[in-house]
Structure 1
Amino acid sequence: MTTAPAAQQPLRSWRFRRVLAAEFVSSVGTQMTTLALPWFVLMTTGSPARMGLVFVIQILPVPLLSMPAGLLVARWGARRVTIAGDIVDTVLVAAVPALYLAGMLPFWLLLVIVALIGSVASAYLSAQRMLLAEAVGTDEGAVTAANALFETATSSARLFGPAIAGLLMAHVGALHVLWIDAATFALSGALLTGLPRREQKPEPLSANRMAEGARYLFRDRVLRTMALAALGYGTLMPVVLLALPVMAKTRYDAEPRVAGLLLAAWGGGTAIGTVIVARLARRVAPTRFAACGGVGAAVVLWLVPWDQPATTTALTVAAACMFLPAVTAPAVALLTLRPPEHLRPHVLPVFGAAVFVASPIAYAMAGLLFEHFPIAAVLAGVAAGATLCAVILVNLARRPTDPPGDAPSH
């Protein structure tokens, strides 16, 4: 295999800039579709239940197919899988308005299309992260910085995508926004076509290799601990996110501007954190970086349950989110680089599948908790869980790191 030499900064690599631009463009399209497609279903069917079913059908294939998708990445390579995914998404998203205008889109067929879009997304996690490593080399600091910048692009897309879709939907309607969404996927694929091909021997599709990747993740102490902590934060933070509109209603007189302020603080804090991580990643070992981020997030989260003015609540939420990329970026970098090369496409999907299962469960549990317990008590529980994750990360950082590939056999 040939890998790009690690640049001092990822943004100096033209390959990485292409990958980052493609990620931003496709993420904007994904976020536009996330708003436009359910709105289209609601407006055409008048059924909130059908709209909710579209959400479920789209996300369901991701945890179910993430691990098998790793086999496809190993067989075809990250670049081919990502480009193929962009092409398929272009066709699938464009098919919705095309079939509807032709009078050939029954609801069952729409669900099939949505399920296929979710199936394509299942391969994206491992493929895109592997593509990052191919673009910036195998230096842990460079890959950590690249993952942080990657998260910056994704977070920015979450901010701009729905806003752009909302403006366009007001002028041209949700149906025609889907044409634009399809074009963003086509542009993403075009940006990646100029990347050098990775020279590798095609790997046969094998469930044994997938199981071997899962075993490696669970046996390697560093990967197991980092994945456990990252999964912990990935389960806890959706509770905080869902708490923001609840706080706006119960603490701040149901003021919608406060709800917007708190959500903006969430996105702004995350964006600032990713930029900081990108600048410092090459100076700090990944496990120590994650420990610092975990401790910082845990400390700040203990301040969120306090009854305080909306401005200080927003600043507290922003500070907590600012520390989280220091956990997630090193975790993804280690999950990408630490396994042996032949197992890398099979390790990250295991973690991705767990996250996609945990996140909707966390949202569902949060709704029930807020109905039966005071919001301060629920948020205090989140802070306690984050503290436990921080302790796990600090303990990992204090112990010597086992060399890659030396995972214990039992």
Structure 2
Amino acid sequence: MSAPSAASTPRLFANRNFTLLFTGSAISAVGDQFTLVALPWLVLKLTGNPGALGLVLMVMALPRAAFMLIGGAVVDRMSPRRVLLVSRGVNTAFVVLLAALVLGGGIRMSLLYLIAAGIGLSTAFAFPAASSILPQMLPREQLQAANGLVMGLRQASMILGPVLAGLLIAGGAAPHAPGALANAHGLADARGMGLSFAVDALSFVVSLASLLLIRLPGEDRPKAAEGGVLADVVKGIRHIGADAQLRAFFLYLGLVSVFVGGPVQVGLPVLADTRLHHGAASLGLLMTSYGGGILLGNLASQRSLRLSGGRLGLLILGFDTLAGLLLAALPQAPSTTFCAILLALMGCFAGVAQVGVVSWIQRRVPIALMGRTMSLLFFVLMGVGPISAALAGALLKVTSLRTLFMGAGFLLSAIALACLSRPNLRGLGVGEAERATDPEGVSG
């Protein structure tokens, strides 16, 4: 997938549905970053315990993991717009509640666990729906340009959103009032965190309005289906299991998510809080740097894939080997700036892989199975990985942050190097044909 050309972009925005989706998604994507920064900061300020942060992430991940595959099957048999509308509406309600509780001084960890579980359940349906909606509104020849714009938008939000959120949290109280950074119940940075959740809630309202105005062709006609939703889930899993390269890639991605995803999710906020000098602002800068690196990687992806001769698997494994070494070096960094540079480089590697993998899946998987395939992709990325965050938080009670990062980094490099010997992974992307047609019997 390459960046959209100047000629293709006007044609995309001539499509009313795409314009509405892009506008709503742009505002919502920035708002999401406020919660992604404020939520871990809230947990650390309420408890001072990295293990609690890992537990919150696990509570959010469990319902998301349990219902993600069902969400993909629901999307394949219903309108992705309607599924996305309902799931984002539920998410809006939880974020509004979270903002009110923080600003009003009523937030407690017990309530936060319930809200995290609710958000996790709603996103189990939102992610496969959002990744399946473009093929419903655009002709196939425009999908590559549209995906490039949407993915670039997502990464641009990771540049702008976290730094704004960090500044809002750090400066959320009146500077002339000593101790005003805490609310009436003594929670530090309460006003800034509450306002961050409120910003995200407002962005969801804009996204809901845009989805209400979108009309997809044929969404009022019920889709033919055989069997129940669970049978559809089984069909999707069997299709992936029968494809040797898809199966190998998903297994590799699962290993990376389990052994690396958790330590990074828990370790970065702890690194900013305990070793860097600017607190929430440092965390925002680190997340922004990573997002900026991914955006640069997106832009460089086409050239990188061309230079590699289309050997996507070889490119991913090589980049992951280098990324593991950078991750191991992160706790040795002497400043926020140096940490940001390391994360930007890791983001570049991830950005190249991200564009290549999504394009590869879109070419390889039948459209009737796209929701289920994407749901399994998100299941591995977002359902499995955060579960390891609970283990990472527990490990920080018995080991140092330096050991956690070094262990995760060297393990990532070792896994990537070992997988270079696997032909199905090493040769991924070589000689790929266009997207497969719908095989008989899977469209239900």
TM-score under structure 1 length normalisation? 0.75
The answer as to whether partners of 1:77 and 1:198 remain within 8 angstroms in 2 is no
Q: Does residue 159 of structure 2 align to residue 156 of structure 1? A: yes
Residues 99 and 195 in structure 2, CA contact (< 8 A), matched pair in contact too:
yes
Correspondence for 1:386: 416
**Distance in 1 separating the partners of 2:37 and 2:286:** 20
Determine if the alignment matches structure 1 residue 330 to structure 2 residue 356: yes
1:116-147 deviation line (CA, Å, top 9, x unaligned)? 33211111111111123335543574465346
1:346-365 matches, within 5 Å, as: 346-365=372-391
Alignment of 1:8-407 (within 5 A): 9=8, 13-14=12-13, 15-36=17-38, 54-96=56-98, 111-139=113-141, 141-142=144-145, 145-146=148-149, 148-156=151-159, 159-160=162-163, 162-163=165-166, 165-166=168-169, 169-170=172-173, 172=191, 174-175=193-194, 177-200=196-219, 201-203=221-223, 204=225, 205-235=228-258, 237-238=260-261, 239=263, 254-256=275-277, 265-277=289-301, 288-289=311-312, 291-299=314-322, 301-302=324-325, 305=328, 315-336=341-362, 338-366=364-392, 368=395, 371=399, 373=403, 376=406, 378-389=408-419, 392=422, 393-398=425-430, 404=436
- 1:212 is paired with a residue whose SS is helix
Q: Classify 1:212/1:7 alpha carbon distance in 2 versus 1 (closer, same or farther; 3 Å).
A: farther
State the Cα distance separating 1:209 from its structure 2 match.
Answer: 1.1
Mapped to 1, the partners of 2:101 and 2:339 lie a distance apart of 47
> 8 Å contact 1:97–1:179 — kept in the other structure?
yes
Change (3 A) 1:146 1:333: farther
Worse overlay, 165-174 or 94-103 = 94-103
Aligned-partner SS, 1:199: coil
Change (3 A) 1:242 1:276: farther
Give the length in aligned residue pairs: 398
**Farther off after superposition, 233-242 or 348-357:** 233-242
The aligned amino acid for 2:297 is: G
Give the C-alpha shift of residue 267 in structure 1: 3.3
Equivalent pairs: percent with the same residue? 23
Provide the C-alpha distance between the structure 2 equivalents of 1:114 and 1:241, rounded to a whole number of angstroms: 15
Structure-2-length-normalised TM-score: 0.70
The aligned residue for residue 186 of structure 2 is none
Cα separation, partners in 2 of 1:109 and 1:324, compared to 1, 3 Å? closer
- Maintained 8 Å contact 1:272/1:322: yes
1:233/1:389 contact within 8 Å kept: no
Q: More helix by proportion, 1 or 2?
A: 1
Tell me the alpha carbon deviations over residues 153-185 of structure 1, each in whole angstroms, 9 at most, x when there is no partner: 453365246336515743655445544432211
Q: Kindly tell me: are residues 339 and 375 of structure 1, through their superposed partners in 2, closer, same or farther at Cα, counting changes over 3 Å?
A: closer
- Residues 337 and 178 of structure 1, relative CA distance in 2, 3 Å threshold: same
SS at match of 1:404: coil
**Where does structure 1 lack aligned partners over 5 or more consecutive residues?**
1-5
Question: Is the partner of 2:140 in helix, strand or coil?
Answer: coil
Identify if the C-alpha distance between structure 1 residues 241 and 391 changes in structure 2 by more than 3 Å, giving closer, same or farther.
farther
Instruction: Report the CA distance shift for 1:23/1:225 in structure 2 as closer, same or farther (over 3 A).
Output: farther
Structure 2: which 5+ runs fail to align?
175-190
**110-119 vs 323-332, greater mean Cα deviation:** 110-119
Retained in 1: the 8 A contact 2:137–2:217?
A: no
**Distance apart, 1:384 and its partner CA:** 1.9
